[in-house]
Amino acid sequence: MTDGTKTTPIDRRSFEPPYAQLARSIRARIGRGEYRPGDRLPSEAELCSAFGVSPMTVRRAVAELVREDVVVTEHGRGTFVKAPQIATATFDLADLMRHLANPEIVAHILEARIVSAGRRAADKLAVKEGDHVISIKRLLLHGEEPVFYHSEYLVFDPTRPLVEAELATTALQDLFSGASGAGLKYGRLTLHASSFTEKEAAQLGEAPGTPAWVLEHLFFDFDDRPESWGRFVGRADRLSFTTTVGIAEPAGG
């Protein structure tokens, strides 16, 4: 390096590849503010010299940082640190997973019956409005306390074991795999803010109109056909979502 800052040596005995160690070292320097948004990183030759690595290792490390949207490479000019991009921020569902992984939260079936598909359920499940679908309503409880209200619709097919598997589901985590994952290829999750309807509020002991989170799920089989669609509704204060934009220096430096 040309700025006199001490580099982190590459550990040749580590299971972590040299390019990943180099990328981590550069990332840490960005997190400490040694490289600021708009700064040009040292050249390939400078990085090779400073860390004792090959040009290929440097290129792989830079490619990793580009993939992470940390830096950008401009042909003929070099590699530059990117400013934090709020538009690319992503949020995980760690707070929701805290509920999913809690074995004390169980699903109590309130209703299970065959109904005529309304317009929205028909659109989601790719069936005709008025076709038979299976409606299941659940209350998710932590002890005696209601946590989430779950409304689900499934394609009606009496020859398939999907319904039996769904009715046997009592763990909250299993609900997100859709019949414990049997015969399912993938799912889509949509999270949005809402407010409790009178029915939802009554089940959860809340006032109608109270702010709520709604998590919709749509599961598909291996023929890419919709198989089940449902909604989890819970109080707005039960879930929070946090992310970091840019690179923060790890705790402890």
Q: Please write down the HEC assignment for all residues of 4-45.
A: CCCCCCCCCCCCCCHHHHHHHHHHHHHHCCCCCCCCECCCHH
Give me the phi and psi of 219, to 5 degrees please: -105, 145
Q: How far apart are CA 20 and CA 60, in angstroms?
A: 8
Which domain does 35 fall in, by range? Answer: 18-86
pLDDT class of 179 with cuts at 50, 70, 90:
very low
Higher-confidence residue: 7 or 221?
Answer: 221
Q: How far apart are CA 236 and CA 10, in angstroms?
A: 47
Task: Report the pLDDT value the prediction gives residue 6, as an integer from 0 to 100.
Answer: 53
Mean pLDDT over 16-40 rounds to 91
Task: Report the pLDDT value the prediction gives residue 253, as an integer from 0 to 100.
Answer: 47
Looking at residue 102, which CATH number applies to its domain? 3.40.1410.10
Give 71-98 pLDDT, tens digit per residue: 999 988 999 998 877 766 676 677 676 7
Judge whether 246 lies within some domain.
Answer: no
Higher-confidence residue: 9 or 213?
Answer: 213
Mean pLDDT over 195-217 rounds to 92
* pTM (2 d.p.): 0.62
User: How many structural domains are present in the chain?
Assistant: 2
What value does the mean pLDDT of the chain take?
82
DSSP 88-118: G-----HHHHHHHT-TTEEEEEEEEEEEE--
Which residues touch 195 (CB under 8 Å, ≥6 apart)?
208, 209, 210, 211, 212
Q: How far apart are CA 5 and CA 180, in angstroms?
A: 53
Torsion of CA 219, 138, 149, 242, to 10 degrees: -50
Place of tokens 């309807």: 197
Cα 173 to the center of its chain, rounded Å: 15
Task: Assess whether 162 and 49 both reside in one domain.
Answer: no
Task: Assess whether 27 and 100 both reside in one domain.
Answer: no
Q: Tell me the percentage of the chain whose pLDDT exceeds 90.
A: 41
Kind of pairing, strands 226-235 and 71-74?
unpaired
Lowest mean pLDDT among 81-95, 165-179, 215-229: 165-179
Judge whether 251 lies within some domain.
Answer: no
Q: Give the residue from 57, 86, 115 where a domain finishes.
A: 86
